[in-house]
Amino acid sequence: MTFQAFRMSLVAAAITVAGFAGAPTLAHAQDTRATAATQAQPAAAKPRVVVLATGGTIAGAGASAMNSATYTAAKVPVDKLLAGLPELSNVAQVSGEQVFQIASESFTNEHLLKLAQRVSQLAKQGDVDGIVITHGTDTLAETAYFLSLTVRTDKPIALVGSMRPGTALSADGALNLVNAVSVAASKDARGKGVLVTMNDEINTARDVNKDINIQTSAFKSQWGPLGMVVEGKNYWFRAPVKRHTTQSEFDIDSITSLPQVDIVYAYGNVQPTAVNALVAGGAKAIIHAGTGNGSVADRMVKPLQDARAKGVVIVRSARVPYGFVLRNAEQPDDKHDWVVAHDLRPEKARILTMLALAKGASTQELQRMFWEY
């Protein structure tokens, strides 16, 4: 199918679902399992991949082909997305399921839990070889990291999104989705943990982050990608070195809720207002997104010490996108009983801290986890 034909199919789908109010909610997620396209090869010869759709730009639609940044996200249902890509049938037996239909900035802890539970269920099925999750790009990296910590499987799991809706000129979603399915269908991807496939790159869930909000090259890992997808073929250059999936001590099957963990952002003339409010609001941990090497302003040290004295876990991270936070460098972390996030960004430090506290981890155990995960 040509790009023009694919774009027109999405335009038609957007028109069909215009005003669509049946977006699955957390409590009423609709299973819209739909076989992708007529198989071009014997079905038994191809891997079986399930696409779990959650919404986002990849399911979005704009008013015109020129609207690449102004559009409505979470518009096109998964059956329409898959029907517009008959090329998928050359890669795998593909079926789709609509789990949510939301923009990812609205993801909650409950969405994370429900999605991870469904991924875990599918991963245990003998008739599923790989899983793809379509997701809005705003919190895609957070969801990917959560899944990498909680779903115990060596089967390939690939998250994918797009920076432009399918109705836009030069939309990136179609190729991203085909590439993600090729990764999920690949035996070489087994055991590599949860992956993010965007802009021809294959990145590990732990390292990848959204660094650009307006270009298709939005997702980058400071330590580099694991591999690339070129014309449907996967090329691998390295493997993850941190613990994930089958090596994880976390298991979604035993997690029913997550504690409140919040983030405080550092800046010039920062005041303790946010820290005090979060402590009063019941936060179990605060991730301090500090300047530089996770630096903490003088006026913030006492409020954070007071919070720790009340049982709130304090994690020093950095608002700087690259590098890592050194323990006992900018602050005497041992003395304060604080934790450092190493090279995890604040939003991912929050994910790991939630899971650790849900297990009742001490600050010493949490620090170990930051080194290992």
Note the pLDDT tens digit of each residue in 145-156. Answer: 999 999 999 999
Average pLDDT of the residues of the chain = 92
List, by residue range, all CATH 3.40.50.40 domains of the chain.
Answer: 259-372
Spatial distance between the Cα atoms of 4 and 2, rounded to a whole number of angstroms = 5
Could you read off the pLDDT of 115-140 as tens digits, one per residue? 999 999 999 999 999 999 999 999 99
Question: At 295, phi and psi to the nearest 5?
Answer: -65, 150
Beta pairing partners, 201: 198, 228
259-372: CATH topology is: Rossmann fold (3.40.50)
Q: What percent of the chain has pLDDT over 90?
A: 88
List, by residue range, all CATH 3.40.50.1170 domains of the chain.
Answer: 3-247
Q: What is the pLDDT of residue 254?
A: 97
**Residue 31 DSSP SS3:** coil
Beta strands in the chain (DSSP E): 34-35, 48-55, 93-102, 130-134, 157-160, 194-198, 201-204, 208-210, 219-221, 227-230, 233-236, 261-265, 285-290, 313-318, 339-340
Exposure class string for 30-40: b at 16+ Cβ within 10 A, else e: bebebebbebe
Beta pairing partners, 291: 295
pLDDT at 281 over 70: yes
Q: What is the pLDDT of residue 257?
A: 98
**140-150 and 109-123 helices, crossing angle to 10°:** 50
Cα angle 192, 197, 200; round to 5: 120
Q: What is the pLDDT of residue 10?
A: 54
Strands of the 261-265 sheet, one edge to the other? 261-265, 285-290, 313-318, 339-340
**Token digits for 114?**
């429900």
How sure is the predictor about 324, in pLDDT bands with cuts at 50, 70 and 90? Answer: very high
Average pLDDT over residues 168-192: 98
pLDDT at 245 over 60: yes
Beta carbons within 10 angstroms of residue 9's beta carbon: 20
Supply the residues annotated as catalytic: 57
Beta carbons within 10 angstroms of residue 54's beta carbon: 29
Q: What percent of the chain has pLDDT over 70?
A: 88
* CATH number for the domain formed by residue range(s) 3-247: 3.40.50.1170
